[in-house]
Amino acid sequence: MSATKSIHPDEKYKADKMGGRLFKVGLAAGAALLIISVILGATKGDHWRRFLYAYVVGWSFVFSIALGSLFFIISHHLTRAKWGIVLRRLAEFMAGTLPFLFVLGLVFVLPVLFGNKHLYFWTHDGLHDPKHPLWHHMHHKFGWLDPAFFAGRYVLYMAVYIGLARYFAKKSAEMDTAPDAAAAAAIADRLRVVAGPATVAFGFVTLFSITDLFMTLSPTWYSTIYSVNYFAGAMLATYCTLALLARVIQQNGKLVHSVTVEHYHDIGKYMFGWTFFWIYTAFSQFMLQWYGNIPEETIFYSYRMFSDWQYVSLALLVGQWAFPYLCLLSRWTKRILPLLMFFAAWQLVFHWVDLYWNVMPNAQWTMETTAHGVFNMGPLAGDPAKHTIGFHFLDITVWLALVGLFLAAVGKAMKGNLIPVKDPKLGECLAFENY
C-alpha cells in the first residue's frame, strides 16, 4: 500500500460516553442473568457441579476473545500490519478486560483451591488409593495437578497476559500524545521489538494455560494439539467480535469514514482463514488419535461419536465449519455487511457450541465396581451409549451473563480515541483497498 489518506475532517473517533453506555447495559444484563444462573444452580443442586461446568464454558468463551485480541495486537505490531490499524484500538479494549476476567475466573479456581472436588476429577481423594483402577494413570501427575500449584499457575498465566495487554495499551496511548511524528515512530518501533519476545511468551503461556484450565477436566486424556485448536477458535471468535463491535460503533455515528468495507473484507478473510485452521487442527487431532487407536486417546471421541453427543458433533461440523466455510469463499459475502455480520454472530454461537462440546461431556462421572471395591471413575467412563447431554437452561444463562459482564468490561476500557490517531502507518490503513 503506497497511497495514504488523512483522517476525514468530519470523523468522530472519540469514545466519549459510548463506553459508559456499554458498561451500564452490559453490567445490568450480566448481573441479572448471573443472579438467575445462581438461582438455577441452587435448584439444580449436586454441589453446584452443573453451575461450575457451565461457568467454565462461559468463561472460556469470553476469555478466548480477550486472548485472541491480545494476539491480534502483538502480531500486528510484530509484522507492522497496516490494514488493521483502525481496528487495533478496539482489540486493545477487549484485551483490556483480562484483569476483570482474572477475577471472574476465580469463581471456579478458588473452589478448587479450598477443597471443591466436583469440577476437576484430579482433585478426587480416591485417585490417591493405589487400588483405584486409574491410579497408574494418575500417580505421576499428582505433583503438577495439585490445587495450590494449580491456583498459583493460574495467577502466573493471567499476570503474563495482563502485563502484555497493559504494556501494549499503555504505549499505544502514549503514541496518541506523542509531540511529533518522530516520537510516534519511535514508539511504534519499540513496540515491534517487544512484540517478538511477547509472541514467544504468549505461545508458551497459552500452551500451558489451556492445558491446565480445560484439558485437565479429563485428566486421563491428553493431546498435543488441544491448545492449538482452542487458540484457532479464539482467533476466529476475535475477528467475529471485531466485526460486530466495529459495526455497532459505526451505527452510533463513530468511525464511519475510517473503517470501510475494505477493512471488513479483510476481517472476512481472516474469519475464513481461521475457520479453515480450526477444522485443520480439529481434524488433525481426531485423525492422529483415532488411527493411533490408543484407548487413552480415542476415549475423547468415543463419547462424542457413540452417545447423544454425536448430534452435537455433527452440528458442530456443519455449523462451525462447512456452512460458514463455503459461504465465506465468496468475495461478496465479505463485502455485503449484513451478511458478514450474520456470519460473525453465527460463528460466535458455534464457537460456544465448540467449547460446550469440549467441556460438558466431562460433567458426568461414573461409578464402577471392581474386585477391590466401588470406585468413582470420573469423566468419559462406562458405556458411551448411556452418556447423555443433560442440557440445562442454566448453560445458556451463565454464558450470556458472562458475555454481558465482558461487554461491561469492554465499555469500562473504552476511553480516549477509538483509533491510534498518530500511528505512522495510519494514513496507509485509511487508504487500504482489496484487489
pLDDT tens digit sequence for 91-140: 999 999 999 999 999 999 999 999 999 999 999 988 998 999 999 889 99
pTM score = 0.96
pLDDT tens, 396-424? 999 999 999 999 999 999 999 999 999 99
18 within 8 A of 253, measured Cβ to Cβ: no
Phi and psi for 417 in degrees, rounded to 5?
Answer: -85, 145
DSSP-derived 3-state class of residue 14? strand
Residue 252, pLDDT score: 95
Contact between residue 223 and residue 285 where contact means Cβ atoms under 8 Å apart:
yes
- Strands, E, within 271-381: which ranges? 367-370, 373-376
Reported as a single tens digit per residue, the pLDDT across 418-431 is 999 999 999 999 99
pLDDT at 90: 98
**Model pLDDT for residues 323-358, shown as the tens digit of each residue:** 999 999 999 999 999 999 999 999 999 999 999 999
CB neighbours (10 Å) of residue 260? 17
- Which among 411, 418, 413 has a CA at the least distance from the CA of 14? 418
User: 70-95, pLDDT tens digit by residue?
Assistant: 999 999 999 999 999 999 999 999 99
- How many other β-carbons are positioned within 10 Å of the β-carbon of residue 180? 9
Cβ contact 414:32 at 8 Å: no
Residue 325 corresponds to which cell in the numbers above? 466455510
Q: What is the pLDDT of residue 317?
A: 96
- Residues with Cβ within 8 Å of 68's Cβ and at least 6 positions away in sequence, in order, are 231, 234, 235, 236, 237, 238, 239
CB 413 within 8 A of CB 66: no
Structural contact between residues 408 and 26, judged by C-beta atoms closer than 8 angstroms: yes
Asked if 26 and 407 count as a contact pair (C-beta separation under 8 A), the reply is yes
Give CA separation, 426 vs 4, 84, 193, 284, in Å.
8, 9, 19, 39
C-alpha cell read off for 428 = 496507509
Share of residues in the chain with pLDDT > 70 (%)? 99
Closest CA to 41 of 420, 394, 411: 394
Task: Determine the pLDDT at residue 367.
Answer: 85
Q: What is the pLDDT of residues 184-224, one digit of tens each?
A: 999 999 999 999 999 999 999 999 999 999 999 999 999 99
CA-wise closest residue to 229 among 152, 161, 189, 284: 284
Indicate the SS3 state at residue 388.
Answer: coil
pLDDT value for 45: 63
* Cα separation values, 38 from 8, 85, 208, Å: 48, 41, 30
**Between 338 and 375, residue with greater pLDDT:** 338
Provide the pLDDT for residue 2: 58
Q: Return d(Cα 98, Cα 96) in angstroms, integer.
A: 5
Nearest by Cα to 377 from 393, 365, 392? 365
Q: Is the confidence at residue 386, as pLDDT, over 90?
A: no
Per the prediction, the chain carries an average pLDDT of 94
The answer to whether 313 touches 389, Cβ cutoff 8 Å, is no
Pairing of strands 367-370, 373-376: antiparallel
Record the cell numbers describing residue 244, joined without a space.
460486530
Confidence of residue 372 (pLDDT cuts 50, 70, 90): confident
pLDDT in tens, 277-295: 999 999 999 999 999 999 8
Q: Which three cell numbers stand for residue 305?
A: 461419536
| pLDDT of 1 strictly over 60 | no
Domain residue limits, the chain = 48-430
Contact status, residue 378 vs residue 371, Cβ threshold 8 Å: no
